[in-house]
Amino acid sequence: MKDAADGELDKILHGIRIPSPPQLLVDIQLEMLDPDPSLDRITDYICADPAMSAGILKTLHSPFYCLGKEATSIRQAVLLLGMKTVFSIINMISLRSEAINEQISEEQLKFLNRFWDSSTDIAISASLIALRLRVIPEDTAYLLGLFSNAGIALMAQRFDDYPDVIAKSYSGLDERIVDTENRCFDTNHAVLGYYMARSWKVPKQVCEVIRVHHSAKELLGDRSEASSPTKDMLAILKLAEHFACLHKVLARQDNDCEWEEIADDVLFYLDINEDDYIDIKNAINEQGIGTSSFI
């Protein structure tokens, strides 16, 4: 996707402010560019932010990681998780903090809380699928899942009626979810998420998948086309969203209409048969994902 001209970008953003990357993330990125990065300095940066420290420890001790040991320090937690996962945690906690600092209604906050929960569930699901299929790295899948719907947070803060519109967009209308948003707001969460991820220096390939993640039918439907990293990540993301019950958590819909349209293409592309599908679904359910009633 080419860079939008200033006037075009203003129209896309439609009064929505893309938050700047947190200084903590910038400091760590600069340290990582050093030929000899210092783990001690990185640890010091994280320790200076209690919310980040708590988020990293909480992630490490979650059932998903199941490392069988507890970290006695932030330094040990960083070593156990790896820097890519630590980056992902910092990104999402920072984005969540941005939303809390905005003046939003109680209903918007409830919607955003469901969104944060769904983002974590999708990230864990995507990582588990990547681990099982060995198609893309687990940490890339986790980052993609965490950031894939980041534009939803921006839309929900800007438009009071966004939860109603997203419910309508998931209800099975004969158009893509982003088309419904475009019709109502002249922009959509996929393109906003793309610009936000790009401004936060998320890897370009992940940014591109965020931009097209509601175009799976078009991209995966032609089974004669060769595989590509974009299509690999897109297929894993759509399967992860389905297992995480995004349609229920955010849109309060019983049926996953988008999945029903793309399921055959996704499973064919990933070479997943019925037994594989059930095995992966059970592994994700064991993490407490996709098993609750949200209606």
* Distant-in-sequence contacts of 162-165, Cβ < 8 A, 24+ apart: 162/108, 162/111, 163/107, 163/108, 163/111, 163/250
Nearest in space to 240 (alpha carbons), one of 205, 200, 213:
213
Nearest in space to 19 (alpha carbons), one of 74, 100, 73, 89:
100
Nearest in space to 94 (alpha carbons), one of 21, 16, 41, 147:
21
Give dist(CA 86, CA 78) in Å, integer. 7
* Range 31-60 burial, b when 16+ CB lie within 10 A, else e: beeeeeeeeeebbebbeebeebbebbbebb
Per-residue pLDDT 10s for the chain (295 aa) are: 444 544 555 666 666 666 666 677 778 777 776 788 788 888 888 887 766 777 777 777 776 665 555 666 778 888 888 777 777 777 777 766 665 556 667 787 788 888 888 888 998 899 999 999 999 988 889 889 988 998 998 888 888 899 999 999 998 767 899 999 999 999 999 999 999 888 877 889 999 999 999 999 999 988 777 789 999 999 999 999 999 999 998 888 999 999 999 999 999 999 999 999 999 999 999 988 987 654 4
Alpha carbon 290 to its chain's center: 16
3-state secondary structure 154-207: HHHHHCCCHHHHHHHHCCCCCCCHHHHHHHHHCCCHHHHHHHHHHHCCCCHHHH
Delineate the domains of the chain, giving CATH numbers in brackets. 6-285 (1.10.3210.10)
Give dist(CA 99, CA 111) in Å, integer. 11
Nearest in space to 87 (alpha carbons), one of 221, 203, 209, 214:
203
Task: Provide Rg for the chain, Cα atoms.
Answer: 19
